[in-house]
Amino acid sequence: MSPKGIRVGSRLASAPVRFWFDGRQYTGQRGDTAASALLAHGVRVLGRSLKYRRPRGLLTAGPEEPNVLLTVGSRPAVIPNVPAPQLVLTDDLEFRSQNRWPSLRCDLASALQAGGGFFGAGFYYKTFMWPSWRSYETIVRNLAGLGEAPRAARLPPPTIEHLSCDVLVGGAGPAGLAAALAAARTGARVVVCEREPEYGGELEFEGGTIDGRPGAQWIAEVAAELARRGVRMLTDTAIVGGSGGLLIAHAEPGGLAGHNRIYRIRPQRFVIAMGAVERPIAFVDNDRPGVMLLGAAERYLARYGAAAGNNLVLFGNHDRLYAAAARFLAAGLRVRAIVDSRTDFAMAEGGTTASGLRAELQRGGVECLPGHAVLAAEGGVTVRGARVAPLASPHDERHIICDAILVSGGWSPAVHAGLHEGGKRRYADCSAAFIAAGQPEWRMSAGASNAALDLAAVVADGFAAGERAARASGAAGSAGPAPVASGDGPPRLAPFWSSPASTYQEKRQFVDFQNDVTVADLRQALAEGFIDIEHIKRYTTLGVGTEQGRTCDVLGAAIVAELKRETLLAVGTSRTRPPYHPVTLAALAGHRVGQQLRPLRRTPLHEWHEAHGGVLEPAEYWMRARYYRANGADAFAAGVAEAARVRAAGGILDGSTLGKIEVAGQDAAAYLDRMYLTQASAIKVGRSKYMVNLREDGMVLDDGIVLRLADDRYLATTSSGHAGHMLAHFEHYADTEWSGREVALTDVTEAWAVIVVAGPASRDTLRAVLGSAWHADLERLTHMDFATGRWHSRELRVLRAGFSGELAFELHCRPAIAMPLWQALVDAGLEPYGLEALDVLRVEKGYLVGAELNGQTTPYDLGMDGLVKLGNPCVGRALLDRPAFHEASRPRLVGLRAADGKATILGGAQITTAAASSRPVGHITSAAYSPALRQWIGLALVARSLAADGTELVARDPLRNGDTPVRVSPLVHFDPNGERMKS
């Protein structure tokens, strides 16, 4: 019997929507999902399984769908792994099935089914070893994984929104709506996140009334009241994780038709009312298309008018089977049989509603089979019948013709949002499932999340939780009377996990549909010694992937418990981790993509560099010119040329990125004495000094020049990009250790642009550019002196320093005059140089380039013994006396050159004593080709015992440069007496 597509009435608009599935055109109704539309067309096979490539159809009606994941769009801008029940149809939407080649009907890899024994649990740990993994890699990679990664983006980028509220309600089923209603009535600010596109949860198809009104009417009235009260209702929005009181919700309206959005929500109180996820039962071939969860079939019918089949067999372990059967019959479908694993005694216990309904159904021709189980789903590609037997005598099989088997093994409360931060679970007997336990004060469960499964209890529990949450958040209004609901009553579930089967048949009893994990796999894992559920999960892949165990974690754990002859409580389930359902990386990134990956800071001269061939690269957060294209074909050539020009004539560098902190107040000098290795108080006004900061443990933190602007005012410069960090460091001590002092600090990095003018021609050029008002100062300034004045009516500070080893000046100017000043220098004949050249100049002079300050070097390591001897009692000074800092194994900064004077040496290379040695005694921190010396030179940190000039060592760089014999040299490679700098 081949199932035909059926529409049995629908709440959807009748407007047709054309779409394409696997290249074939179909028509759905506006509001349909891909799942409902294809179901209505009678398309049962919608995908292939991951491992065995077995044909698969819809199991669920929600984002937990394990079988039918679709690839939307066409290459290269595809979107993979979209659950079919979430994909809302839009005009001419194009999507296709996954895990098949060349087609869904004819998949060559389905031959893997024959290798079921070979592909058992953990097969990838035991196979693909001979002759080597490489022999299999290409094939395995082509077969593995879900879907195909997109090569290009198509959708608009997602956004992030931060929200705060008094009460966040996760879920807008009856419990969630009741909770939101109670909280809103008290005056609390409420946000509701509902993963479905509509409110109401299972009220949509279940019977029952609330406050005397049918479910649909109550939903509409509550939604209207919540809107009036300003509650923010977010549909299509699932709470996917949380941490430290912050909840992350992911919105994907229409599956992907709308904007992806991440909500970062900080509520005062969080009510988890996210319902429960229905579980399947393991029986032979329970993955055959046509086997569907009972609740999913009800939803497709109620919301979309799409029937799972014409002739139904219902199989489960609770009373809801009978109410559902009545609804299917009312919709005109034929229910062939209700297979109830419970005995008559269990069914009658505690109530008569289901028994009465059963009698009525039987009178209507529905066969009711208590104490029975479906042993197997029969058929070809799709279900054509059910093999059924009494549990007391499983060999007394009989066949029931059907085109759909609707299964319900109970429900697992969706409590993930309460467990991501390490919360615990408690076993609830009434639902044979786990609920959150031991939750913090700000978090509470309600409704099915709290194991309440009948409508009256769900609504009452939700309302009480909402009111409690609102009160705790400070709301004082009255919530009014709680809604009174009446429904089918509790389902009176009796745990039943798997039907009887032979050990051989267990290979086709699927537990985790997405990962093809069967009862046989669980048995095998146990046999191989994996007894903990976490280990079993990893060995078998139970509950991994996009489905994340939503339908299978309790089922798998229960079957393990049966196999181990333990209780489900003793076995437990594996830990749930965020995200609870797939979230695109783009959604998490939000605005942080492309140019906005991280903020890029620009100097006042940025546009000039861009317009004049500057190759700009991020350095820390700053965009800096590495070199200028006019000076060479690449960074190396240009850097060498620019450095050579600075030594020969001169050049200008944009040094605006230099961190600058102004420190002022009566106690500024005394304060800075505590912050630097040498005394700031000894600096005269108009002078500056090279200074070093230590961490408390004695390691060097940063270095820079400190200028004394006035008796009570200093400018401390820091490494580029370190101003923020150093300001925090300074403020920490100003606010805590020496809080009584009169000292104040602020970051003035952007208030002063810096132009470095370096080279023999620098003074003469400045005389011409700055004008006669500056001539006297330019002649007067000695190394580390500075003068202040004005240029073009704005403040200008000229410091005689420059970190190039040349006669050099730093021009600190207000940003407003940075561009005209720079242009005037260019017009006067100076050309710019970039970071490559700066590094060359610094290495030649033995100045710290950057890699030397790695957080593990002391002043002694860097050759600053003389600074320490001055004895200033600053932060970190006391710990410099530790014996360990003086051992021979400590590093020492040295100069380094290739032994033959020709070979290349590169920063990062390891230093060893001989080529054969693998034990490093140091590493090269910085290296450059010196145009002045016509050879490669470097700075290196090597063990002190090997730091003597002339020591022969080997630079080992196997990935880039091989082994290079090197020789320790004086740290200062060029102009060791500083004659050029002092000229």
Residue whose structure tokens are 């269990």: 346
Query: Smallest gap, in angstroms, from Cβ of residue 295 to other proteins?
Result: 21
Query: Smallest gap, in angstroms, from Cβ of residue 382 to other proteins?
Result: 35
- Report how far residue 642's alpha carbon sits from residue 654's, in angstroms, rounded to the nearest whole number: 14
CB-neighbour burial class of residue 881 (10 A; exposed 0-12, middle 13-18, buried 19+): exposed
For other proteins, which is the closer residue by CB, 162 or 629? 162
- Report how far residue 703's alpha carbon sits from residue 720's, in angstroms, rounded to the nearest whole number: 11
H or E segment at 670?
A: helix 668-675
For other proteins, which is the closer residue by CB, 814 or 956? 814
Residues near 863 by beta carbon (within 8 Å), at least 6 away in sequence: 892, 893, 971
Structure tokens at 170: 């996760």
Q: Are strands 69-72 and 47-48 parallel, antiparallel or unpaired?
A: unpaired
Q: List Cα–Cα distances, 305 to 218, 232, 653, 788, in angstroms.
A: 22, 30, 72, 83
Query: Smallest gap, in angstroms, from Cβ of residue 623 to other proteins?
Result: 9
Query: Smallest gap, in angstroms, from Cβ of residue 660 to other proteins?
Result: 10
3-class secondary structure for 57-99?
A: CCCCCCCCCCCCEEEECCCCCCEEEEEHHHCECCCCEEEECCC
For other proteins, which is the closer residue by CB, 577 or 592? 592
Query: Smallest gap, in angstroms, from Cβ of residue 848 to other proteins?
Result: 24
Query: Smallest gap, in angstroms, from Cβ of residue 602 to other proteins?
Result: 5
Coil, strand or helix at 825: helix
For other proteins, which is the closer residue by CB, 835 or 946? 835
H or E segment at 586?
A: helix 585-589
For other proteins, which is the closer residue by CB, 516 or 662? 662
Query: Smallest gap, in angstroms, from Cβ of residue 814 to other proteins?
Result: 5
**Is there a contact between 307 and 301 (Cβ–Cβ < 8 Å)?**
yes
Query: Smallest gap, in angstroms, from Cβ of residue 30 to other proteins?
Result: 16
**Is there a contact between 638 and 798 (Cβ–Cβ < 8 Å)?**
no
Query: Smallest gap, in angstroms, from Cβ of residue 913 to other proteins?
Result: 46
For 706-730, give one letter per residue: b (16+ CB within 10 A) or e.
Answer: bbbbeebbbbbbbbbbbbeebbebb
Structure tokens at 245: 């009181």
Query: Smallest gap, in angstroms, from Cβ of residue 596 to other proteins?
Result: 5
**Is there a contact between 677 and 864 (Cβ–Cβ < 8 Å)?**
yes
- Report how far residue 725's alpha carbon sits from residue 951's, in angstroms, rounded to the nearest whole number: 38
For other proteins, which is the closer residue by CB, 742 or 949? 742
**Is there a contact between 336 and 400 (Cβ–Cβ < 8 Å)?**
yes
For other proteins, which is the closer residue by CB, 601 or 845? 601
For 319-338, give one letter per residue: b (16+ CB within 10 A) or e.
Answer: bbbbbbbbbbbeeebebbbb
For other proteins, which is the closer residue by CB, 587 or 643? 587
For other proteins, which is the closer residue by CB, 207 or 254? 254
For other proteins, which is the closer residue by CB, 216 or 879? 216
User: Cα-flanking dihedrals φ and ψ of residue 771, to 5°?
Assistant: 95, 175
Q: List Cα–Cα distances, 100 to 22, 111, 121, in angstroms.
A: 11, 11, 22
Residues near 548 by beta carbon (within 8 Å), at least 6 away in sequence: 576, 577, 580, 581
Query: Smallest gap, in angstroms, from Cβ of residue 299 to other proteins?
Result: 16
- Report how far residue 929's alpha carbon sits from residue 224's, in angstroms, rounded to the nearest whole number: 74
CB-neighbour burial class of residue 69 (10 A; exposed 0-12, middle 13-18, buried 19+): buried
For other proteins, which is the closer residue by CB, 469 or 817? 817
> Which residues sit at the interface with other proteins, rule CB under 8 A?
156-164, 197-199, 220, 223, 232-237, 251, 253, 258-259, 261, 264, 266, 590-592, 595-596, 598-604, 606, 622, 662, 664-666, 724, 741-753, 814-816
Longest Cα–Cα distance in the chain: 114
Residues near 595 by beta carbon (within 8 Å), at least 6 away in sequence: none
For other proteins, which is the closer residue by CB, 94 or 198? 198
For other proteins, which is the closer residue by CB, 188 or 383? 188
For other proteins, which is the closer residue by CB, 293 or 723? 723
Query: Smallest gap, in angstroms, from Cβ of residue 587 to other proteins?
Result: 11
Query: Smallest gap, in angstroms, from Cβ of residue 224 to other proteins?
Result: 9
Query: Smallest gap, in angstroms, from Cβ of residue 667 to other proteins?
Result: 9
Q: Identity (one letter) of the amino acid at 425?
A: R
CA neighbours closer than 13 Å in the CB half-sphere of residue 289:
26
For other proteins, which is the closer residue by CB, 500 or 618? 618
Structure tokens at 770: 């700055």
**Is there a contact between 842 and 937 (Cβ–Cβ < 8 Å)?**
no
For other proteins, which is the closer residue by CB, 193 or 552? 193
Query: Smallest gap, in angstroms, from Cβ of residue 675 to other proteins?
Result: 17
For other proteins, which is the closer residue by CB, 538 or 602? 602
- Report how far residue 461's alpha carbon sits from residue 455's, in angstroms, rounded to the nearest whole number: 10
For other proteins, which is the closer residue by CB, 319 or 662? 662
- Report how far residue 839's alpha carbon sits from residue 845's, in angstroms, rounded to the nearest whole number: 10
Residue whose structure tokens are 């100003």: 734
Query: Smallest gap, in angstroms, from Cβ of residue 744 to other proteins?
Result: 4
Query: Smallest gap, in angstroms, from Cβ of residue 223 to other proteins?
Result: 5
What are the strands of the beta sheet with 688-694, ordered from one edge? 688-694, 700-710, 713-718, 659-664, 744-747
Query: Smallest gap, in angstroms, from Cβ of residue 264 to other proteins?
Result: 8
H or E segment at 42?
A: none
